[in-house]
Amino acid sequence: MKRVIIESPYFAEEGTNRQRNIMYARACVKDSLERGEAPIASHLLNTQPGILDDFNPSKRQQGIAAGHAWTKVADLVAVYINLGLSPGMKDGIEAAEKQGTPYEFRKLSDWPLNREALSFAKIVETCKAYVHGIPLQGF
C-alpha cells in the first residue's frame, strides 16, 4: 500500500467552516482508502479533543511539525483542492518538496470546487503558482 499524507483545509475560526473542513478531510481520507492507499490526515488526528488545541499557536505549530515529520516516509502527498489551498496546505507541499516526496493535486467529484467557474486544470495551475510564490489572482 502506498503511504499517503492528506492535505486539506482545516483551521477555521468559524464553527460552520471548521465542521465543513472536518467533513471534507474525512471524505478525502475515504477517497484515499478507496484508491487502495494508506492515508494519514494528521490535522484530523492531532486536533481531536484532549490531544492538541489548534487555537493555541504553539500547540498548532507542534501539530504541524508532527504532521510534517511523516513526509520523509510517505510515498505521496495528496493535496485535495475542492475548497481551495490554505497556507497550511502550502506548507505541506513545501515540506514534500524539501524531502523530495512527490505530491499531486486531487479533487473529490462529489464536492463542488471552490471556484466553479474555473476548470480543475486551471485550479491546479493556480495552486502550483501559489506554492511557488506567484500571487493568486481571482482565487
Provide the b/e sequence for 48-79 (b: ≥16 CB within 10 Å).
eeeebebeeeeebeebbeebbebbeebebbbb
Cα separation, 113 vs 120, in Å, equals 8
Q: Considering the domain boundaries, does residue 136 fall inside one?
A: no
Q: Considering the domain boundaries, does residue 31 fall inside one?
A: yes
State residue 96's pLDDT score: 95
Q: Considering the domain boundaries, does residue 9 fall inside one?
A: yes
Q: Considering the domain boundaries, does residue 127 fall inside one?
A: yes
Q: Considering the domain boundaries, does residue 138 fall inside one?
A: no
Q: Considering the domain boundaries, does residue 117 fall inside one?
A: yes
Q: Considering the domain boundaries, does residue 137 fall inside one?
A: no
Write down the pTM of the prediction.
Answer: 0.79
Q: Which domain holds residue 71?
A: 3-131
What CATH code is carried by the domain that includes residue 59? Answer: 3.40.50.10400
Highest-pLDDT range among 61-65, 98-102, 134-138: 98-102
State residue 64's pLDDT score: 87
Q: Looking at the DSSP assignment, which residues form a beta bridge with residue 7? A: 79
The number of folded domains in the chain is 1
State residue 8's pLDDT score: 94
Distance of CA 96 to the CA centre of its chain: 12
Cα separation, 20 vs 110, in Å, equals 14
Which tens digits make up the pLDDT trace of 51-99? 888 788 898 889 888 989 999 999 999 999 988 888 889 999 999 999 9
